[in-house]
């Protein structure tokens, strides 16, 4: 029976569940998706998806439901029905907060929530016929759904401009809104293409041919379009975009937050205003001018030209995704609260460098100078050739891409070759006489942590969503394929020699094929070397260093607690001793003076008389000798 953590795919029903099971039934936290195929580059996914708690196979507890139309419900569930407090975000972005009962909004009991979620302009007329205008609830629902919206973008996309329009006088707000909507409408086709392109980066497949953008993709888009060249960091942009939103403080910089198309457009407008509003504050309409300049200078020339080390190639990206969960865990451990509100945890450059120093990873290969060069490669405000600014914050994308670059610097070519050649020597049994000191060190280090790290990677890969499916290439297969590659190359040489005589055309054809196969083999070998470098860096160096540091921190914490407990015990004993001394002093003070204990020892009469009569020196000595035991008795008494 299915029990524990796992993924189930129903191929005939085109459904998928990833999460916890108990005795063959969905129980615990999980994600259930219902897919329907769409044509490529379609706007909305025809996918219903529930992320939340299950009890005996039912949606029960707290959960979030993503409708295919773009609507979202987040709140309480009871036996597959919305019941309790919840928030319904309609497909145009309007929001209803309130209580739900038996899958219906309590304020509008005759209204089907699913019907509203899929409602579009074509069904608006039938909706109005079913719910006449005289009904106040129908008017509220029409406003929520957007059927009465006068936006030039239509009811499917509602730009949330209320926060930006507050910056303008009330008389100018209508014109500002109208002009910026026209500007978005003129660029909507290009923006949809950009959204679709970045959403698919690092994704192996999608059952419905659609992808959702995450914050990781959004950061890559911002860096490619050089938004951070306007003297504003990606962390600052996250804080700007989280203003007046319901994003929890600890998730402001989360790389796994999903971003819908309408949210993507709203984010662009907010960033355009914050970057360029000073230049156009005396002109009207200024919001339109800010957005147009951002499109002209940043987005049109640079979008879809992917840089950085994470999304450099599909196979490398898929493999790198296997380490992303563990690296996010390390990143959160070394973040510190930001000085300004909302005081969310973030990482500065100096914190990153200190972390690597604690891990003892700053060495002759990875120096502090190379660290600065890697971080400052695409940011002109970090290093100007003379001075470096270590106060700038790093989001997780910059942190993770820097680690990928550090892997190629820290893991030397000798280490990689030694690691790749080790299994062949083991299989042949010829271990003597081969210089594998480096390799032996790697093997010793990996053997101590291999089991735990592999289990961590497996847990991370099972918990990751479909957008983070990794391609775990088996290094042993790559190593075993090396003799075959060499054999194929030797066969090619033999074939060239054998078939050279029949004609030049055949010789040229065979040489061309040989070159193609050589290039393919070279690419495979490069990929194998890269994967090995990543494996050595993350599994054998970074993760064990982090684990060792956490163990040290735990021991230090335990020692501090033990020392505090011992100090408390000593203080308690000293307090008890002081109390006893004080009680003895009080008893001594209460006694009267005559009660002082004085012992008087009476001596015999002859001894006393002899002491007063003069005697000869011999007698004196005798008396003194006889009196010695008496004095000793006094002392004893």
- pLDDT of 265-313, one tens digit each? 999 999 999 998 888 888 878 888 999 999 999 999 999 999 988 998 8
Looking at residues 474-490, what average pLDDT do you find?
A: 41
For residue 476, pLDDT over 50 is answered with no
More confident residue, 68 or 43: 68
Name the percent of the chain lying above pLDDT 70.
68
What pLDDT is attached to residue 127? 34
More confident residue, 569 or 600: 569
pLDDT-derived band at 9, boundaries 50, 70, 90: confident
In the chain, the N- to C-terminal Cα span, in Å, equals 89
Sheet of 104-105: strands edge to edge?
4-10, 15-22, 25-35, 47-55, 58-66, 72-78, 81-89, 95-101, 104-105
What is the C-alpha separation between 3 and 542, in angstroms, rounded?
32
Distances (CA, A) of 327 to 69, 458, 592, 603: 34, 14, 78, 94
Q: Give the DSSP H/E element, type plus range, for residue 234.
A: helix 234-241
Looking at residues 307-323, what average pLDDT do you find?
A: 89
Classify 10 as helix, strand or coil: strand
Least confident segment among 207-221, 246-260, 556-570, 604-618 = 604-618
What pLDDT is attached to residue 46? 66
What pLDDT is attached to residue 149? 52
Looking at residues 454-477, what average pLDDT do you find?
A: 40
Looking at residues 4-29, what average pLDDT do you find?
A: 89
User: How many of the other CB atoms lie within 10 Å of CB of 51?
Assistant: 18
Specify whether the CB–CB gap between 537 and 412 falls below 8 A: no
Looking at residues 357-384, what average pLDDT do you find?
A: 87
SS3 of the chain: helix, strand, coil, percent, to 5:
55, 15, 30
Beta pairing, strands 258-259 & 81-89: unpaired
pLDDT-derived band at 5, boundaries 50, 70, 90: very high
Specify whether the CB–CB gap between 158 and 151 falls below 8 A: yes
Looking at residues 68-80, what average pLDDT do you find?
A: 87
What is the C-alpha separation between 447 and 151, in angstroms, rounded?
63
What pLDDT is attached to residue 595? 52
What is the C-alpha separation between 241 and 273, in angstroms, rounded?
12
For residue 506, pLDDT over 50 is answered with no
pLDDT averaged over every residue in the chain: 75
What pLDDT is attached to residue 512? 61
pLDDT-derived band at 619, boundaries 50, 70, 90: very low
DSSP 466: G
Locate tokens 């926060």: which residue?
Answer: 163
- Helix axis angle, 437-463 to 543-590, nearest 10°: 80
DSSP 591: S
For residue 155, pLDDT over 90 is answered with no
For residue 505, pLDDT over 80 is answered with no
Distances (CA, A) of 556 to 329, 550, 551: 21, 10, 9
User: How many of the other CB atoms lie within 10 Å of CB of 20?
Assistant: 17
For residue 96, pLDDT over 60 is answered with yes
User: How many of the other CB atoms lie within 10 Å of CB of 50?
Assistant: 20
For residue 605, pLDDT over 90 is answered with no
Name the percent of the chain lying above pLDDT 90.
31
For residue 302, give both structure tokens. 């640079």
What pLDDT is attached to residue 67? 85
Least confident segment among 137-146, 268-277, 473-482, 618-627 = 473-482
What is the C-alpha separation between 24 and 369, in angstroms, rounded?
55
- Helix axis angle, 324-333 to 437-463, nearest 10°: 90
Least confident segment among 26-40, 109-123, 391-405, 412-426 = 109-123
For residue 444, pLDDT over 70 is answered with no
What pLDDT is attached to residue 34? 84
Looking at residues 78-104, what average pLDDT do you find?
A: 85
For residue 618, pLDDT over 70 is answered with no
DSSP 310: S
What is the C-alpha separation between 448 and 40, in angstroms, rounded?
47
Tell me the pLDDT tens digit for each residue of 126-136: 333 333 333 44
More confident residue, 243 or 410: 410
Instruction: Please choose, from the candidates 230, 222, 257, the residue with its C-alpha nearest in 3D space to the C-alpha of residue 242.
Output: 257
pLDDT-derived band at 609, boundaries 50, 70, 90: very low
Looking at residues 355-368, what average pLDDT do you find?
A: 91
What pLDDT is attached to residue 92? 73
Q: How far is CA 7 from the centre of its chain?
A: 22
Beta pairing, strands 336-337 & 47-55: unpaired
Looking at residues 448-469, what average pLDDT do you find?
A: 40
């Amino acid at each position: 029976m299915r029990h524990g953590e796992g993924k189930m795919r129903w191929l005939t029903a085109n459904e998928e569940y990833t999460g916890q099971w108990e005795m063959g039934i969905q129980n615990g936290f999980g994600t259930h998706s219902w897919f329907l195929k769409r044509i490529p580059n379609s706007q909305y996914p025809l996918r219903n998806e529930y992320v939340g708690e299950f009890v005996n196979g039912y949606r029960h507890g707290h959960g979030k439901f993503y409708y295919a139309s773009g609507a979202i419900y987040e709140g309480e569930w009871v036996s597959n029905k919305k019941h309790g407090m919840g928030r319904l975000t309609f497909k145009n972005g309007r929001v209803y907060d309130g209580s739900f009962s038996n899958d219906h909004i309590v304020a509008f009991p005759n209204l089907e929530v699913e019907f509203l979620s899929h409602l579009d302009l074509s069904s608006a007329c039938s909706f109005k016929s079913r719910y006449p205008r005289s009904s106040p609830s129908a008017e509220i629902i029409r406003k929520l759904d957007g059927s009465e919206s006068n936006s030039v973008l239509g009811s499917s996309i509602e730009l949330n401009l209320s926060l930006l329009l507050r910056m303008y006088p009330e008389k100018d707000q209508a014109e500002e809104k109208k002009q910026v909507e026209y500007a978005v409408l003129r660029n909507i086709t290009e923006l949809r293409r950009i959204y679709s392109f970045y959403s698919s980066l690092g994704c192996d497949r999608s059952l419905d041919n659609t992808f959702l953008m995450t914050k990781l993709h959004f950061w890559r888009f911002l860096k490619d379009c050089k938004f951070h060249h306007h003297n504003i960091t990606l962390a600052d942009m996250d804080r700007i975009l989280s203003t007046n939103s319901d994003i929890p403080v600890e998730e402001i910089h989360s790389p796994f937050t999903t971003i819908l198309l309408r949210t993507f457009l709203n984010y662009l407008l907010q960033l355009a205003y914050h970057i360029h509003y000073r230049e156009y504050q005396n002109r009207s309409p200024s919001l339109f001018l800010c957005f147009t300049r951002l499109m002209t200078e940043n987005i049109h020339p640079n979008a879809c030209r992917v840089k950085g080390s994470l999304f450099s190639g599909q196979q490398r990206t898929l493999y790198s995704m296997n380490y992303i969960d563990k690296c996010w865990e390390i990143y959160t451990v070394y973040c510190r609260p930001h000085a300004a509100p909302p005081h969310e945890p973030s990482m500065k450059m100096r914190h990153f460098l200190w972390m690597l120093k604690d891990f003892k990873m700053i060495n002759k290969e990875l120096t502090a100078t190379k660290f600065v060069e890697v971080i400052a490669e695409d940011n002109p405000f970090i290093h100007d050739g003379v001075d470096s600014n270590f106060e700038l914050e790093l989001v997780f994308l910059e942190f993770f891409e820097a680690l990928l670059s550090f892997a190629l610097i820290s893991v030397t070519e000798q280490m990689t070759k030694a690691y790749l050649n080790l299994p062949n020597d083991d299989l042949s049994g010829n271990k003597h006489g081969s210089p594998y000191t480096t390799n032996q060190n790697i093997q010793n280090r990996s053997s101590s942590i291999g089991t735990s790290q592999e289990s961590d990677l497996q847990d991370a890969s099972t918990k990751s969503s479909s957008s983070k499916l990794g391609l775990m290439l088996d290094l042993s297969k790559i190593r075993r394929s090396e003799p075959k590659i060499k054999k194929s190359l030797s066969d090619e040489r033999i074939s060239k020699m054998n078939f050279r005589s029949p004609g030049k055309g055949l010789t040229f054809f065979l040489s061309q094929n040989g070159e193609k196969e050589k290039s393919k083999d070279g690419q495979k070998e490069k990929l194998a070397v890269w994967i090995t470098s990543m494996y050595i860096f993350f599994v054998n160096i970074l993760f064990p260093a982090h684990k060792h540091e956490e163990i040290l921190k735990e021991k230090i914490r335990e020692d501090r607690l033990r020392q505090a407990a011992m100090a408390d015990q000593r203080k308690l004993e000293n307090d008890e001793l002081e109390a006893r001394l004080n009680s003895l002093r009080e008893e001594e003070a209460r006694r009267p003076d005559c009660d002082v204990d004085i012992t008087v020892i009476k001596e015999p009469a002859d001894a006393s008389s002899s002491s007063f009569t003069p005697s000869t020196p011999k007698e004196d000595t005798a008396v003194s000798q006889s009196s010695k035991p008496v004095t000793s008795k006094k002392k004893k008494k």
